[in-house]
Chains A and B, each alone.
Chain A
Amino acid sequence: MDDMYREAIIEHYKNPGYHGVLEPADISFEDNNPLCGDHLRIDLRIDAGGCITEAAFSGHGCAISQASADMLLGSIIGKPLDEVKKMNKQDILDLIGIELGPVRLKCALLSLKVLKSAAYGIHQGESVELDLD
């Protein structure tokens, strides 16, 4: 029906590997996409060397936002937080492997926005301009 909904997207949406909540987590951050009413929370556990050992996402959203969150978390396990800070839009697009228009791009980037906010140690409610490009 549409290339945007290639099988991998639907599969990650229906059977996500990283869906859930880490209690307690070392870092948690959550945010909304006001346009769609999507809500995403990401929890991370970090080892002594500053590497991500566990990650989970929760909340609700469309297939694009949920699948990209799942793929993103799958790609960062074992990586140092500093590396996550350098991730950008292209990394997400490479992960999900589809072209997105300006509206749906926001859905795909919500997880990156939340993850980077967590990596930078931004406090909930604090407004910081993140560079995602």
Chain B
Amino acid sequence: MNEITRIRSDFPILQREIKPGVPLIYLDSAATSQKPSLVLDSMSEYYARHNANIHRGVHTLAEEATELYEAARGKISKFIHARSHTEVIYTRNTTEAINLVAYSWGRKFLKPGDIVLLTEMEHHSNLVPWHILRDSIGIELKFIPVTADGLLDMAEYEKLLQLEPKLVSFTHASNVLGTINPVQEMARSAHRAGALVLVDGAQSVPHFSVDVQQLDVDFYAFSAHKMLGPTGIGALYGKRELLEKMQPFMGGGDMIREVRLEGFTANELPYKFEAGTPAIAEAVGFGSAVDYLTQIGMDAIHQHELEITKYAYSLLMNLPGVTLFGHEKQKRGGVIAFEVAGIHPHDVAQLLDSDGIAVRAGHHCAMPLHQKFGIPATTRASFYMYTEKSEIDKLILGLKKVQKLFG
């Protein structure tokens, strides 16, 4: 059995048929990835054998549950090369992690007129929290422009830094263009200008090795469900000295050291930001996802995706009537958004679905980016470690059929 066949056999859903005789061709991993048995089993094993609330009971189950929950944090921390597991805070997802920074850091340290620098290629999750903060405390938002070929305009970035923003917040990898931004360089420039750096890692951590210390970012947000783990859990990495100075996010149990009727003292890191009973089974699944990724190897995963993306790009590019978005030559992430002339993306996606092919249609939660390119919506195919070349071939065949139907 070759490597890809072996990997695919670890994912039960990849064996299913969409209707009799029509196997699933899942090209929507940028929306959410599929899950290997290792992850599914670890979660059901947790509920079947260890289920208890964490950090409070002294009974055996509570001890085991706490240990599993914290062991997963340790794995995640190591996976992104954080200095310490206390710098990794569980959140619901990337969105919540960004909202946490906007709330707990932004409301404490930003003043009216302070600038937060974002980019035109951001997902709504890295735009709207800042809109909300602007509307409530009067900060100012500026945006690094995207060039016609889908890259951030670095000359413009350097100019915007002269405005002395307090924070630069941007995506590591675009969920529409596939662009991988030069995080390390951008963080260096930001720091030189006195700004902190928050990176949306939703589309990067699942696909290639990320070292938050080497990148020298201040905050880094990502979701488990895009990296083989369950929905409902994600993480925020933050430098310890920053997290310590920030105000708590949600109030409730577990985030406190002491509560009196008059007030409370916040708990130590990372619990300060984790109020209430968390997603324990999901944390366990998150840890198993990291185990699986580590076992396959992030470099091997990245290599496979580069190859698949290159293959898909060259075939799509040669389809008459199909326009691709994003930069052609740059090493891109495994997403390709495209337009089929005269056919709405929803119709493309719907018709591909009848051949078992799952792609995403719409603005992919990046409306401003689509507005910039003057298109209401695109069709997006996205790939992962389990995507095969034969699936790309079927996508191309499917697109030809769609064009014929509308022809």
Partners in one complex: yes
Instruction: Kindly state whether residue B92 has any CB partner on chain A within 8 Å.
Output: no
Contact A1 B401, CB 8 Å, known A37-B367, A62-B347, A104-B346:
yes
Chain A residues contacting B405 (CB-CB under 8 Å) are 1, 5, 10
| A37: B residues at CB distance < 8 A | 362-363, 367, 370, 376-377
Bound Cα distance from A68 to B177, whole angstroms: 32
A126 contacts partner chain B, Cβ-Cβ < 8 Å:
no
Identify which of residues 45-78 in chain A touch chain B, using a CB-to-CB cut-off of 8 Å: 60-64, 66
In the complex, are the beta carbons of A2 and B354 less than 8 A apart?
yes
Chain B residues with CB under 8 Å of A60's CB are 344, 376
**Cross-chain contact A36 with B351 (CB below 8 angstroms):** no
Distance between A41 CB and nearest chain B CB, rounded to angstroms = 14
Determine whether B291 belongs to the interface, using a CB cutoff of 8 Å to chain A. Answer: no
- B interface: dominant SS: helix
Q: Mark B253-267, 1 if CB is under 8 A from A, else 0.
A: 000000000000000
A63 touches B362 (CB 8 A): no
Do the beta carbons of A38 and B376 come within 8 Å of each other? yes
| Residue B38 lies at the interface, judged by CB distance under 8 Å to chain A | no
Residue of B nearest to A61 (CB): B344
Q: With A36-B361, A37-B367, A37-B376 given, is the CB distance from A14 to B406 under 8 Å?
A: yes
In whole angstroms, how far apart are the Cα atoms of A76 and B328 in the complex?
Answer: 49
By a CB distance below 8 angstroms, the chain A residues around B363 are 37
Cβ of A96 within 8 Å of any chain B Cβ, yes or no, is no
Cβ-based interface call for A39 (8 A): yes
Contact across chains for A10 and B406 when beta carbons are under 8 A apart:
yes
Contact B376 A63 (CB under 8 A): no
- The CA-CA distance from A24 to B350 in the complex, in Å, is 37
* A2–B376 touching, CB < 8 Å: no
| Per-position binary interface string of chain A over residues 9-30, scored 1 when its CB falls under 8 Å from any chain B CB and 0 otherwise | 0100010000000000000000
Q: How far is the CB of B400 from chain A (nearest CB, A)?
A: 11
Docked CA distance A19–B406 (Å): 18
A8 in contact (CB, < 8 A):
no
> Quick check: is B355 within 8 A (CB to CB) of the other chain?
yes
Which residues of the other chain, A, contact B346 by a CB distance below 8 angstroms? 36, 62, 64, 104, 107
Check: A130 CB closer than 8 A to any chain B CB.
no
With A1-B354, A14-B406, A37-B370 in contact, do A64 and B347 touch (Cβ < 8 Å)?
yes
B402 contacts A by Cβ under 8 Å: yes
CB-based contact A63/B402 at 8 Å = no
The residue on B at minimum CB distance from A38 is B376
Q: Do B347 and A5 touch across chains, with their CB atoms under 8 A apart?
A: yes
Roughly how many angstroms separate A66 CA and B406 CA in the complex, as a whole number? 14
Nearest-neighbour CB distance to chain B for A65, whole angstroms, equals 8
Residues of B contacting A38 with CB < 8 Å?
344, 376
A36 touches B406 (CB 8 A): no
In the complex, what residues of B have CB within 8 A of residue A1's CB? 351, 354-355, 401-402, 405
Closest to B348 in A: A62
Of all chain B residues, which has the CB nearest A107? Answer: B346
Q: Which residues of B contact A5 (CB under 8 A)?
A: 347, 350-351, 405
Q: How far is the CA of A1 from the CA of B376 in the complex (A)?
A: 25
Q: Which residues of A contact B402 (CB under 8 A)?
A: 1
In the bound complex, what is the Cα–Cα distance between A36 and B367 (angstroms)?
10
CB-defined A-B contacts under 8 Å, sample of 15: A1-B351, A2-B350, A10-B405, A36-B345, A36-B346, A36-B362, A37-B362, A37-B370, A37-B376, A38-B344, A61-B344, A62-B345, A62-B347, A64-B346, A64-B350
Pairs A-B, 6 closest by C-beta atoms: A37-B376, A62-B344, A62-B346, A2-B354, A37-B377, A63-B347
